[in-house]
């Protein structure tokens, strides 16, 4: 594995890239080699919640399902926060039951999110995807045991350089999410920011991948 893409919505089927493809319960594609599956807060359908969670639990028992998600909390949408919390908590408990990491979408609700993780005593790895915030939040997330994934915002926002440089080498991932650029572009910038060769960055993220996802290369 030369590259690992922590979160993408587009399966590119490249031999040199292992992609964790985001899937939704009602739009599942069984041909994708490795995936996460979850209920995104944007797409919560209250009447379908029971069946969606049943599908997620079924897929979590398959070896190619590497994580729950993306799931989380978002204060900038109209779906009530109480319903979002119920859906999020249900998925965290499934992740804990089946010992799978969780890929997190969080907008303006990090304090609530961390409180829920602590309250439920979640011990599986928590990965915050698409990070774009300040150093103070990074420090808080790291202190809570989270991993952080960087992608399109790292490419778009030069102010993230100092935040990324501060990241411990064993606590971050890289991703493309919905960006048009390939994961190689994200790796190239990340290697430049860290001041290390591309090969060293690849090896480090491979090590992080093995630590979090517990499968062989």
Tens digits of per-residue pLDDT, 8-62? 999 999 999 999 999 999 999 999 999 999 999 999 999 999 999 999 999 999 9
* Res 94 pLDDT > 70: yes
Distance from C-alpha of 208 to C-alpha of 16, rounded to nearest angstrom: 17
The CB-based long-range contact list for 162-166 (8 Å cut-off, 24+ gap) reads 162/135, 163/131, 163/133, 163/134, 163/135, 163/138, 164/190, 164/193, 164/194, 165/193, 165/194, 166/135, 166/138
Question: Please, what is the average pLDDT of the chain?
Answer: 96
CA 95 to chain centre: 13
3-state secondary structure of 158: coil
Helices within 24-133 (DSSP H only) = 49-60, 81-98, 110-119
Query: What are the C-alpha distances in Å from 19 to residues 8, 55, 176, 191?
Result: 7, 21, 10, 19
What is the residue range of 142's domain? 3-213
> For the chain, how many residues are written?
217
pLDDT at 113: 97
* Res 110 pLDDT > 80: yes
Tokens matching residue 50: 């029971």
How many structural domains comprise the chain? 1
Residues tagged in the binding site annotation:
70, 105, 129, 177
Residues tagged in the binding site annotation for a divalent metal cation:
70, 105, 129, 177
pLDDT at 217: 45
Stretch 145-162: mean pLDDT: 97
pLDDT at 216: 56
């Amino acid at each position: 594995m030369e590259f690992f893409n922590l979160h993408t919505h587009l399966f590119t089927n490249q031999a040199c890239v292992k992609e964790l493809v985001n899937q939704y319960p009602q739009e599942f594609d069984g041909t994708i080699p490795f995936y996460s599956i979850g209920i995104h807060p944007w797409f919560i359908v209250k009447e379908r919640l029971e069946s969606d969670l049943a599908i997620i639990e079924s897929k979590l028992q398959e070896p190619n399902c590497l994580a729950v998600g993306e799931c989380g909390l978002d204060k900038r949408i109209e779906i009530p926060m109480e319903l979002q919390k119920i859906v999020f908590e249900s998925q965290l408990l499934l992740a804990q039951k089946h010992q799978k990491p969780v890929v997190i979408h969080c907008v303006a609700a990090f304090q609530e999110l961390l409180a829920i993780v602590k309250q439920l005593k979640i011990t599986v790895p928590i990965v915050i995807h698409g990070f774009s915030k300040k150093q103070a939040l990074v420090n808080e997330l790291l202190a809570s045991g989270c991993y952080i994934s960087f992608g399109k915002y790292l490419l778009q926002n030069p102010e993230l350089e100092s935040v990324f440089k501060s990241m411990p080498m064993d606590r971050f991932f890289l991703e493309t999410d919905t960006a048009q650029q390939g994961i190689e572009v994200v790796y190239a910038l990340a290697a430049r920011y860290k001041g290390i060769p591309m090969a060293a960055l690849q090896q480090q993220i491979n090590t992080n991948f093995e630590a979090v996802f517990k499968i062989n290369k």
